[in-house]
Structure 1
Amino acid sequence: MARIQEKPKGYWRRIFFKELAGHNGSWKKKLKSIHSYTGLPVRTVEILRSLGVTWEITVKEARGRENRIKHTHVYFGQASLTVGWSSGKWPTLDKPTTLELHGVQLVPINCPITCRPGWRSLLSKVLVKKGAGKLCGSDRLISLLYMENGVTVGVWQKQQEIAFVLVNFHYHRLVERNLLGTSTTYVFPYEATDMQAPFDDIDPDYGLHSYSMHLELHNTEDSIASVSFLQLFCRKDQIADGYVPLQVISKEKRQTQQTPLGGKISLPWKTEGLQGCVENCCMLTLTVLAEARTPFWCVSAPVAMTKSKHEEVSYACKGESFLMEFQDSDGKLEIELEWTEEQKQFVIVNLILFLSISKVNRGSSEFRHQL
């Protein structure tokens, strides 16, 4: 029989914090209630709030210095939350800096927060350096750079110093990611099982139909648009260039499918002393569900709106045409919008979802052979 002193160093400390962090599984029952449109747990926000979860960034500079910064504000959307860090001492981009994002749950004991122990679950780790990231937009003071894993950095244009950080967290497996990742002793994020479409050996067109999609455009304060689409499909002869295309909104059927946006496409930002707004930029949260209504592709990231290079004559909307695009290793999304001068609003007139064949094929080797 092993004695207590024979346990690895820190063993009992980790066990203690795991219990306090909700690792006893009492919160799992609440996750079983699923939203009919998004396919995601309805009570995600409720669980995170009841457990007192907060978010921290650990800034690790090249010289070895570390600085922990607590979040300043959170926006809860329908399928994701956006966490912001508007204050803190940030480094310049002259030397590489690592940002580690943690979900934090403090022990509920009566002592100052600065001294209170807790469980820190690693969510992601991003390297920020000069020349890295994708430019999403800018104003006269800052530039918005999208790094990866939902991390967007606002950089002062003159000083090339971080001004603020915005991070998008999709609700899919978000509770598990905030509670089941490891602490600073053994730093590994929670790894969810790969999202796959269920294999159907009877249906020869498995993987080509019965997808659904929920799309939300929002910023750090408000929702701009929130729409759901059902029964998306693709024919085999439409597969090309490594993608399964799903036509969500078509120009040919624009009178019945056109989707107006309910707000301005912009992204407000603020620091301790200044605030501003980046035009023609917002956050995109995408949830693609497979035939069994299970999450298949989940994304939450900034997206820029640019003027379309292909102007076409339109009799329904006589305004200018614009384009939004997002792409990662699992797929891509193309949204075409038109500005209606009479209603003073943007309307989605064309939307195509492209799923990577390699992602669809992960479900089975038999289907991989078919495509």
Structure 2
Amino acid sequence: MYTGYERSVYPSGQSRRTGVVAMATGRGQAFASFRMGLEKVQQANSSTGPHVKRKMSSDSTKIKKRGTSRGNPRKPESSGPTVKFRNPVSRFQNQFERVPPEILLKILSYLDAASLYCIGFANKQFHELANNNAMWYRMFSNECDKMKKWKPKQIDEVAERVNAASIQEKPEGYWKRLYFRKMAGYNENKWKRRLKAISPYTGLPSQTEQVLRDLHVTWEITVTDKRGRENTFQQSHAYFSDSSVTVCWSNSSWPPFYQLTMLQLHGVKRVALDCPTVNKPGWRSLIAKHDLNDIREKGRIIGSDKLVNLLHLAPGLTIGIWRGNWLIAFVMVNLHFHKLVERSLLGSTICPYTEGLPEDRLPFDDVDPEYGLHGYTVHILLHNTVKHIMSGHFSQLFCKADHIRDGSIQLNAIYKHDLSQHTPLYGKISLPWKTEGLDGNVPNCCMMTMTVLDEAQNPFWCVSTPVTMLLSKLGSSSYDYEGENYLIKHQGSEGRVKMELVWLEEQEQFFLTNLVVYIATAKVNKHFGRAY
């Protein structure tokens, strides 16, 4: 056998050869012993069998076979007993299934959260045991005791004053989901404090992007087809601007678009557990749910290139369709920063986050006859998935009561005849896209993100959506520019936006010459308690 003494005496090369020979010798002895044991079993079976007789010829080359009688035919006897080997995996499973569930639960109770989560993928039996409410409630309680930042008032009322009976009455996996939800957002007070710092330029929390990155928040899309089958896709990449994020999915295994009935968008926060699985446990918060049967007919094509058509289905949702076959090439979703962290973390898998009444709502003012018509601030941004094209900040916007038309108040951010307000654009307006194998660029399309603040500088109307630039049919009444005139329009339930641009051929640059924001009067009356 190979020993440490031999390794120390012989040189390195000779020691390795000796070790290989010794290992081969040891394996040969092991197989030889195994064969001798089988031969002993065969001899024992052949000697103890009363009806087994083996006759060997003198030259030991043939085995005589028993004859068969006419009335009692017999099968020819085999040369030796058959040795059957059982599958060790199936044998282990059969033995393990005989263990009472109470003992298995007792064994699983010694596992940590990561091990208990991973063992649930072993088989159906372990999946049921690993979702036991009693075990996950115990883990939930232990984590609440360990983390002093989790004050009792932060724990759900359902988790308070519970007994053993009420724990088991909950649906399967209830406390498991609650545990991962608390683990995903246990530092809720910390990131909420960070979001209190407001940017004076956008009127939104200045650390929204950094908080989302530090919490490792991602977004997932789940699509459902007509047969009820679901497919979940992880985001490919995300582009952050100063007031929104554009999330893209460039997968190549999308189901046919005409077979889809539902599309759901979830914010996902993975729990930092040491799990070997690809999809680590976490919490999924529903952000938006779109019934494609209802909005498919309302969708409109907002742009195209040689390969894809851009189909705008819902606010912020854009789907790239391969031209000619109606198969999905990519999906883009625009998410405004307003309450985005809360919407991505504090909702549930089936219910989105709902914001309560604002604490700093403006008091009713019955002295000012035009209360709610002045003091507005508009921050608007044009961008795509690579860069920002234009950014503007306009404050102290107002509308006279007698200027209310067609159920909307009009806020003029850029006047056409005021050259000092005209804003240049950086580069041409286009929307780059990318899949796993191809890429392209849709001309005259981009994303518009707008934030309207009220008199107290609170977000009043927030929108982030794709827009299209079209050639103006009316032309321009301004004599200050010579070039083609274009329009960008957005129409929503809460208001609309109109932008006029001019293309200067010599400078090869767009200029924004007019910007008007229309807010629905019903929205103003509801917010300020008026009746315009």
Give the structure-1-normalised TM-score.
0.94
**Does structure 1 residue 73 correspond to structure 2 residue 73?**
no
Query: Per chain length, whose mean CA-contact separation is higher, i.e. which structure has more relative contact order (CA < 8 Å, sep 6+)?
Result: 1
With over 3 angstroms needed to count, the CA separation of the structure-2 counterparts of 1:313 and 1:331, relative to structure 1, is: closer
Pick one of 366, 379, 384 that aligns with 1:214.
379
Task: Show the counterpart of 1:101.
Answer: 265
Aligned residue number for residue 291 of structure 1: 455
Paired with 1:350 and 1:113, the residues of 2 have a C-alpha distance of 54
Shift of 1:313: 4.5
- 129-138 or 301-310, larger mean C-alpha shift: 129-138
The one of 175, 190, 208 equivalent to 2:341 is 175
Q: Do the aligned partners of residues 208 and 364 (structure 1) sit closer, same or farther apart at CA in structure 2, a change above 3 Å counting?
A: closer
Is contact 2:472–2:487 with CA below 8 Å preserved after alignment? yes
Is the 1:197–1:360 contact (alpha carbons within 8 Å) kept by the matching residues of 2? no
Please give the alpha-carbon distance, in whole angstroms, between the structure 2 residues aligned to 1:215 and 1:280: 18
CA offset at residue 14 of structure 1?
A: 3.1
- Say whether 1:245 aligns with 2:405: no
CA displacement, residues 185-238 of structure 1 (integer Å, 9 cap, x when unaligned) = xx0011124789724333221111110000000000100011100100111111
Instruction: Verify the 8 A CA contact 2:371 2:528 in the aligned structure 1.
Output: no
1:4 to 164, 181, 195: 164
CA contact (8 A) 2:252 2:435 kept: no
1:358 is displaced (CA, Å) by 0.5
Match of 1:265 in 2: 429
Identity among equivalent positions (%) equals 48
Q: Is contact 1:69-1:88 (8 Å) kept? A: no
Q: 1:142 aligns with which of 299, 304, 308?
A: 308
Q: TM-score, normalised by structure 2?
A: 0.66
Q: CA offsets per residue over residues 302-346 of structure 1, 9 Å max, x none?
A: 000000111135332100000000011100000000011221110
Moved more, 128-137 or 20-29: 128-137
User: Does the CA-based 8 Å contact 2:224-2:260 persist in structure 1?
Assistant: no
How far the C-alpha of 1:91 sits from its partner, in A, is 2.0
The equivalent of 2:513 in structure 1 is 349
Q: Which position in structure 1 is the counterpart of 2:178?
A: 15
Distance 1:5 1:11 in 2: 14
- Partners of 1:142 and 1:336 lie apart in 2 by 27
1:19-60 deviations in whole A, cap 9, x for unaligned?
212154321100100000111001111111111111111111
Q: Tell me, in whole angstroms, the C-alpha distance in 2 between the residues paired with 1:262 and 1:357.
A: 34
Cα displacement (A) at 1:364: 4.3
Alignment partner of 1:152 out of 315, 318, 337: 318
Q: Distance in 2 between matches of 1:194 and 1:338?
A: 42
Write the deviation string for residues 142-199 of structure 1: whole angstroms up to 9, x where unpaired.
111111131111111111011100000000000000111102xxx0011124789724
CA gap of 1:115–1:259, structure 2 versus 1, over 3 A, is closer
- 1:322 is matched with 486
Alpha-carbon distance in structure 1 between the residues aligned to 2:409 and 2:354: 26
CA RMSD after TM alignment = 1.7
* Distance in structure 1 (CA, Å) of the matches to 2:504 and 2:477: 14
The answer on 1:282 being equivalent to 2:456 is no
Residues 14-33 of structure 1 mapped to structure 2, 5 A cutoff: 14-23=177-186, 24-33=188-197
Residues 197 and 296 of structure 1 are in contact (CA less than 8 Å); yes or no, is this contact kept in structure 2? no
Residues 280 and 100 (structure 1 numbering): CA distance in 2 closer, same or farther, change over 3 Å? Answer: same
Matched residue type, 2:281: P
Letter in 1 for 2:484: E
- Give the SS at the match of 1:97: strand
Gaps of 5+ in 2: 1-160
- Residue 389 of structure 2 aligns with an amino acid whose one-letter code is I
C-alpha distance in structure 2 between counterparts of 1:165 and 1:127, whole Å: 16
Distance 2:440 2:291 in 1: 26
- Mapped partners of 2:339, 2:514: distance in 1: 30
Question: Counterpart of 1:206 in structure 2: which amino acid?
Answer: Y
- Bigger fraction of residues in helix: 2
SS in 1 for 2:449: strand
The code of the aligned residue for 1:201 comes to D
TM-aligned CA deviation for residue 292 of structure 1: 0.3
SS in structure 2 opposite 1:26?
helix
Q: Structure 1 pair 94/292, CA: closer, same or farther in 2 (3 Å)?
A: same
Counterpart amino acid of 2:202? T
Higher CA-based Rg: 2
Aligned to 1:208, the other structure's residue is in SS state coil
Alpha-carbon distance in structure 2 between the residues aligned to 1:95 and 1:168: 24
1:338 aligned to which of 468, 478, 502: 502
CA distance in 1, matches of 2:189, 2:289: 26
Tell me the amino acid that sits aligned with residue 340 of structure 1: L
